[in-house]
């Protein structure tokens, strides 16, 4: 597999030094697994996570070994392992970024009071360790600011998605001259992207795409698109693990598989979600970035349904700015 792994790293544009370090990391993992009676050629997630725990315990920066491991398992078509390992990195920096935003909006003193009891897990900790910190932050934020101000703090571009990412969508919207036409065009193009991933078997972001997933999305224009009703666009989030989401018949498992948030998904249990559903305003903030860029001004986004609140999917309402609405 080393040759295929190296070729995949070259396609990513890594230099020779970075490739050597990545290969060295995978060789070290292979040696460790073999020493424990396991094989990298037939990997399973439990020993790989044990290897990760040992590396973390040694104080090594998580990205130094997690990123090569994720890339290796993606290249090896061990998608389930790659997706699981991605969940170790996805929560990193989210709560600190939220705290920084709170300080900018409300001042350092309020930020310090909200964060006083929030114990953020160390970088590279498994996603299951994050819900207590996420719940504590959400509850403290609302206790300090009230529900509406807390929602405004949470509803923003915490992932730092660049405006350039949607610059082409802005151009297409202006060219088409219609919200409805652009939404339909966007959805059609996203379905085409999914079809390509279903055909070649590659991951789409951290998601495995199958023909069933393509059919599911194609039949639901709110997913990877949006449907306008009056001055509001309704958007439904594609499940985080869409193939398994479609295959399971267990409603609780379906909610877990729908949730994209590595800071909260593990909290979804039979007794309810330990992370309050108000946290999902963060996901609404992510959903609205595309519309902010396309419409050329800030939009308002609200959570309608969320898996943390007991729904089977997450759904948002995005308000079209008045300057655009007047042209509808």
Tens-place pLDDT, residues 300-309:
999 999 999 9
Tens-place pLDDT, residues 278-312:
999 999 999 999 999 999 999 999 999 999 999 99
Give the pLDDT score at 203. 86
Query: Which of 162, 120, 105, 112 shows the shortest CA–CA distance to 140?
Result: 112
Among left, alpha and beta (phi > 0; psi -120 to 50; other), residue 38 is beta
Inform me whether the pLDDT recorded for 325 exceeds 80: no
- Considering only the C-alpha atoms of the chain, give the largest distance between any 2 of them, rounded to a whole number of Å: 68
Type and span of the H or E element at 86:
helix 79-89
Inform me whether the pLDDT recorded for 192 exceeds 80: yes
Q: How confident is the model over 162-171, as a mean pLDDT?
A: 95
Give the pLDDT score at 274. 87
Please state the φ and ψ torsions of residue 272, each to the nearest 5 degrees: 110, 175
First to last CA, the chain: 55
State the Rg of the chain over Cα.
Answer: 21
Rounded Cα distance between 191 and 219, Å, is: 10
Give the pLDDT score at 323. 85
Query: Which of 50, 36, 45 shows the shortest CA–CA distance to 73?
Result: 45
* CA distances in angstroms from 326 to 8, 56, 181, 291, 320, listed in the order given: 49, 55, 16, 16, 10
Give the angle 40-45-50 at the CA atoms, nearest 5°.
Answer: 90
Number of Cβ atoms within 10 Å of the Cβ of 77? 12
Place of tokens 């970035």: 289
Q: How confident is the model over 72-76, as a mean pLDDT?
A: 92
Q: When comparing pLDDT for 226 and 262, which is higher?
A: 226
Rounded Cα distance between 320 and 294, Å, is: 11
Q: Where are the domains of the chain?
A: 2-89, 94-154, 163-325
Rounded Cα distance between 206 and 89, Å, is: 12
Inform me whether the pLDDT recorded for 270 exceeds 90: no
Question: What percentage of residues in the chain have a pLDDT greater than 70?
Answer: 98
What average pLDDT does the chain have? Answer: 94
Tens-place pLDDT, residues 234-247:
999 999 999 999 99
Tens-place pLDDT, residues 199-214:
998 889 888 899 999 9
Q: Worst-scoring range by mean pLDDT, 1-10, 198-207, 246-255?
A: 1-10
Record the pTM. 0.88
Inform me whether the pLDDT recorded for 326 exceeds 70: no
Tens-place pLDDT, residues 111-157:
999 999 999 999 999 999 999 999 999 999 999 999 999 999 999 99
Sign of the Cα pseudo-torsion (110, 267, 289, 320, in order): negative
Tens-place pLDDT, residues 83-120:
899 999 999 999 999 999 999 999 999 999 999 999 99
Place of tokens 């509001």: 232
Inform me whether the pLDDT recorded for 1 exceeds 70: no
CATH of domain 2-89: 1.10.150
């Amino acid at each position: 597999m080393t040759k295929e792994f190296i070729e995949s790293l070259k396609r990513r544009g890594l230099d020779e030094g970075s490739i050597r370090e990545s290969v060295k990391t995978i060789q070290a993992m292979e040696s460790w697994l073999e020493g424990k009676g396991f094989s990298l050629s037939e990997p399973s997630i439990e020993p790989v996570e044990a290897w990760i725990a040992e590396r973390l315990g040694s104080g090594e920066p998580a990205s130094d070994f997690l990123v090569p491991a994720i890339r290796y398992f993606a290249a090896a078509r061990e998608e389930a392992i790659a997706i699981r390992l991605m969940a170790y990195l996805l929560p990193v920096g989210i709560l600190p970024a939220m705290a920084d935003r709170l300080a900018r909006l409300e001042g350092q003193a309020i930020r310090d009071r909200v964060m006083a009891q929030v114990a953020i897990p160390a970088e590279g900790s498994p996603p299951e360790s994050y819900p207590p910190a996420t719940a504590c932050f959400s509850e403290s934020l609302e206790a300090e600011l009230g529900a509406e101000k807390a929602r405004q703090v949470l509803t923003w571009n915490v992932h730092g998605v660049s405006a350039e990412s949607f610059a082409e969508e802005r151009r297409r919207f202006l060219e088409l001259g219609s919200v409805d036409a652009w939404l339909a065009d966007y959805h059609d193009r996203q379905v085409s992207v999914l079809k390509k991933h279903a055909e070649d078997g590659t991951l789409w972001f951290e998601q495995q795409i199958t023909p069933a997933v393509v059919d599911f999305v194609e039949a639901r224009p709110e997913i990877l698109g949006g449907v306008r009703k009056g001055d509001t666009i309704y958007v439904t989030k594609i499940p985080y693990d869409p193939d398994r989401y479609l295959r399971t018949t267990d409603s609780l498992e379906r909610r877990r598989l729908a949730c994209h948030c590595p800071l909260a998904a593990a909290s979804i249990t039979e007794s309810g979600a330990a992370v309050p559903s108000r946290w999902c305003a963060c996901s609404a903030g992510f959903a609205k970035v595309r519309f902010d860029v396309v419409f050329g001004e800030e939009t308002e986004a609200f959570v309608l349904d969320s898996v943390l609140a007991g729904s089977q999917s997450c759904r948002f309402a995005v308000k079209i700015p008045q300057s655009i609405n007047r042209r509808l």
